């Protein structure tokens, strides 16, 4: 069993999670921007949550040298069961967890329910942030007071200049919407084995550090409920297990696909220049305009009827679509959704529609022959 403890710097801006074994140490550095203030530390719940997938992969039990919220402990139990069943190659063992004690915290003492939102300046998180702050979420609308951007997740730790540029865009959006903006730098992604299957718990560990002054934490869904991958790191099926008695984790926006989210943001065109979606191009904090994520986002704006200018260095052309790599099944799925919308719209450039259709056909053709040849080779040998 490995023991974990939390050390906090005197100014409260650096939180370190150390362990008695050979697991890597974990850190978080808090940097409020503009007029925002740093969140006061409120126990070690975040630290235990962050270390669970690491320990499950290492197949080692954990002892937290601090008290842990009993609601969160119950949730972690369910989280382990789900993910050990789904992906035993990553979550190799359902580990035992012990603590120095359990508690259920009383509700926060602030006068009105306050929310914190994970914010990357991307299409999904901008949609979530704006629809709550603009009171367009109906009864689900939350009183978002803080937006949090993480350095070390999508933007690598070594890309300091890129993150600085990204954070400036994020600050501009938050100032426009009237919400505090805080960045958190962490090496958590370097500790885990599979980012795509674990990043939900990483985000939750960051957001739990705001539980002293916030009751709800919002994480934007990757896609709509209909189009979401069934097994994914940011899952509305399992992210609810990250809640505690003090902080409720909510996934947001699942009733809307990316085309609908783009259409909504078209109502607030002042936010569109600050949207950053690129992760495959150079890590400059700007959109490259030519990677699959950038091209798909352009197509989303096109299908949504949002007129240019868009936040890319070049427009959308049939040639860009024709050369777009399709690296996973979800990109193919998103292209199919886009095609179903644009081929019904005669106002859209027919060359773009043809390019999407033929790109999907080529991909299906290559996938078929790749599978066929693989099966033929397997049958021979």
pLDDT at 200: 95
Whole-number Å distance between alpha carbons of 102 and 344: 57
Helices (H), 185-271: 188-191, 199-207, 258-265
Whole-number Å distance between alpha carbons of 133 and 179: 8
pLDDT band at residue 375 using 50, 70 and 90 as cut-offs = low
Q: What is the DSSP string of 311-362?
A: SSSS---HHHHHT----SHHHHHHHHHHHHHHTT-TTS-HHHHHHHHHHHHH
5-14, 119-128, 243-252, 366-375: least confidently modelled range: 366-375
pLDDT at 111: 44
**What percent of the chain has a predicted confidence (pLDDT) above 70?**
94
pLDDT at 376: 57
pLDDT band at residue 112 using 50, 70 and 90 as cut-offs = low
pLDDT at 279: 77
Q: What is the DSSP string of 16-37?
A: EEEESSSSPPEEEEEEEETT--
Element (H, E) at 99: strand 97-99
- As a whole number, mean pLDDT of residues 179-198 equals 96
pLDDT tens-digit series, residues 311-335:
999 999 999 999 999 988 889 999 9
Question: Residues 76, 201: contact at Cβ < 8 Å?
Answer: no
pLDDT at 323: 94
pLDDT tens-digit series, residues 10-49:
999 999 999 999 999 999 999 999 889 888 988 999 999 9
Burial of 109: CB neighbours in 10 Å, binned 0-12, 13-18, 19+: exposed
Average pLDDT of the chain is 92
pLDDT tens-digit series, residues 139-171:
999 999 999 999 999 999 999 999 999 999 999
pLDDT above 50 (res 239): yes
pLDDT at 229: 82
pLDDT tens-digit series, residues 70-95:
999 999 999 999 999 999 999 999 99
Question: Residues 265, 272: contact at Cβ < 8 Å?
Answer: yes
- As a whole number, mean pLDDT of residues 51-55 equals 97
pLDDT at 268: 95
pLDDT above 80 (res 127): yes
Report helix, strand or coil for 3: strand
What lies within 8 Å, CB to CB, of 353 at 6+ separation is 339, 342, 343
Q: How far is CA 285 from CA 92, 125, 295, in A?
A: 35, 16, 17
Say whether the peptide bond before residue 220 is cis (omega within 30 degrees of 0): no
Element (H, E) at 15: strand 14-19
**H helices, E strands: number in the chain:** 11, 12
pLDDT tens-digit series, residues 285-304:
999 999 999 999 999 999 99
Q: How far is CA 229 from CA 196, 233, 234, 330, in A?
A: 11, 10, 9, 8
Whole-number Å distance between alpha carbons of 138 and 193: 39
Report helix, strand or coil for 381: coil
pLDDT at 380: 55
Q: How far from the centroid of its chain's Cα atoms is residue 251's Cα?
A: 10
Q: Left, alpha or beta for 38 (phi > 0: left; psi -120 to 50: alpha)? A: beta
> Six-digit token pair at 323?
């050369």
Whole-number Å distance between alpha carbons of 173 and 297: 18
pLDDT above 70 (res 108): no
DSSP3 helix / strand / coil % (the chain, rounded to 5): 45, 15, 40
pLDDT band at residue 109 using 50, 70 and 90 as cut-offs = very low
196-210, 225-239, 321-335: least confidently modelled range: 225-239
pLDDT at 104: 84
How big is the CA angle at 341 (ends 340 and 347), to the nearest 5 degrees?
130
């Amino acid at each position: 069993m490995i023991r974990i403890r939390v050390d906090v710097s005197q100014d409260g801006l650096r939180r370190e999670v150390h362990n008695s074994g050979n697991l890597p140490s974990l850190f978080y550095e808090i940097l409020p921007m503009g007029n925002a203030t740093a969140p006061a530390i409120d126990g070690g719940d975040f630290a235990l949550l962050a270390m669970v997938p690491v320990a499950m992969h290492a197949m080692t039990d954990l002892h937290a040298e601090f008290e842990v919220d009993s609601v969160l402990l119950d949730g972690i139990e369910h989280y382990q069961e789900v993910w050990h069943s789904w992906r035993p190659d990553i979550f190799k063992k359902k580990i035992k967890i012990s603590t120095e004690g359990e508690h259920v915290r009383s509700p926060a003492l602030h006068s009105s329910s306050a929310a914190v939102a994970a914010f990357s300046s991307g299409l999904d998180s901008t949609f979530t942030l704006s629809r709550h702050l603009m009171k367009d979420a109906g009864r689900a609308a939350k009183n978002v007071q803080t937006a949090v951007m993480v350095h070390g997740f999508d933007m690598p730790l070594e890309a300091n200049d890129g993150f600085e540029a990204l954070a400036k865009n994020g600050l501009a959006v938050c100032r426009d919407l009237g919400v505090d903006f805080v960045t958190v730098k962490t090496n958590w992604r370097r500790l885990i084995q599979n980012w795509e299957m674990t990043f939900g718990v990483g985000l939750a560990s960051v957001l739990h550090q705001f539980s002293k002054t916030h009751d709800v934490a919002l994480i934007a869904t990757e896609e709509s409920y209909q189009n979401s991958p069934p097994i994914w790191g940011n899952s509305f099926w399992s992210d609810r297990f990250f809640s505690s008695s003090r902080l409720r984790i909510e996934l947001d926006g699942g009733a809307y696909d990316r085309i609908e989210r783009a259409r909504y943001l078209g109502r607030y065109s002042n936010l569109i220049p600050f949207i950053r979606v690129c992760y495959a191009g150079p890590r400059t904090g700007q959109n490259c305009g030519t990677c699959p994520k950038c091209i798909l986002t352009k197509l989303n704006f096109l299908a949504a009827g949002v007129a240019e200018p868009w936040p890319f260095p070049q427009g959308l052309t049939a040639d860009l679509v024709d050369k777009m790599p399709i690296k996973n099944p979800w990109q193919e799925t998103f292209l199919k959704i886009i095609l179903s919308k644009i081929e019904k719209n005669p106002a859209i450039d027919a060359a773009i529609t043809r390019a999407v259709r033929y790109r999907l056909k080529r991909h299906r053709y290559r996938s078929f022959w790749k599978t066929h040849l693989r099966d033929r080779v397997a049958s021979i040998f």
